[in-house]
Amino acid sequence: MNGLVSSPFFVVRRVDLAKRSKKAQEAFDLALPVAKEMGYDLVDCEYKKEGQDLFLRLFIDKKGGVGLDDCEAFSAAVDPIIDSGMQSDADYFEVSSPGLTRPLETIEDYVRYEGEKLDITLFAARDGVKNFTSVLKSYSGDRVVLEAENGTEYDLALSDIAKAVRHIDF
């Protein structure tokens, strides 16, 4: 299925699931219902050593982006659940936004950024074009429709897209 796993609710690339450690996945599973209840998208979780310290880091997002208040509220809500629900020897627990230029990886990412500009890189050129800026017009299943700045429309499978990130105008 072109590296994609699908269910009635979402499509994710298989590689996304493989990169999360067992502890990170456990924390992700505990935090997901809280995120949904609070109106956030839980986009990832890391459980990793940085220098001498071990970090458990959750990444949340929502349409319009998240701020410090969102991270603080989610941290306060999910911290006791993670403390009581899993054995963790993490030195630090953090909640963060995924960042402005985090690659879009799931259909939920595309849903969140519908109508916004994206910088797209394709695995193989289409009409002689491999890199372009576009507006995400629509999504359906594992396909997206993009309109490039020159007006060209591209109907693409997610598996055709090597990288998609939000376009940031400075």
CA–CA distance, 38 with 170 (Å, rounded to integer): 31
pLDDT at 7 over 90: no
Asked if 4-96 and 107-166 have one fold, the answer is no
Q: What are phi and psi of 52, to 5 degrees?
A: -90, -5
Torsion over CA: 114, 118, 123, 128 (sign): positive
The pLDDT score that the predictor gives to residue 141 is: 81
Of residues 106 and 73, more confidence is placed in: 73
pTM over 0.75: no
Residues 122/160, Cβ–Cβ less than 8 Å = yes
pLDDT in tens, 17-68: 447 899 999 999 999 999 999 999 999 899 999 999 999 999 999 887 899 9
pLDDT at 11: 35
pLDDT of residue 65: 83
Instruction: Give the start-to-end residue ranges of the domains of the chain.
Output: 4-96, 107-166
The percentage of residues in the chain with a pLDDT greater than 90, rounded to a whole number, is 56
The reported pLDDT for the residue numbered 36 is 95
The yes/no answer on whether domain 4-96 falls in CATH 3.30.300.70 is yes
CATH class of the domain whose range is 107-166: mainly beta
**Whole-number pLDDT of residue 109:** 83
Give the position of tokens 């020897």: 89
Q: How does DSSP assign the chain, residue by residue?
A: -TTEEE-SS-EEEHHHHHTS-HHHHHHHHHHHHHHHHHT-EEEEEEEEEETTEEEEEEEEE-TT---HHHHHHHHHHHHHHHHHHS----SEEEEE---TTPPP-SHHHHHHTTTSEEEEEEEEEETTEEEEEEEEEEEETTEEEEEETTS-EEEEEGGGEEEEEE----
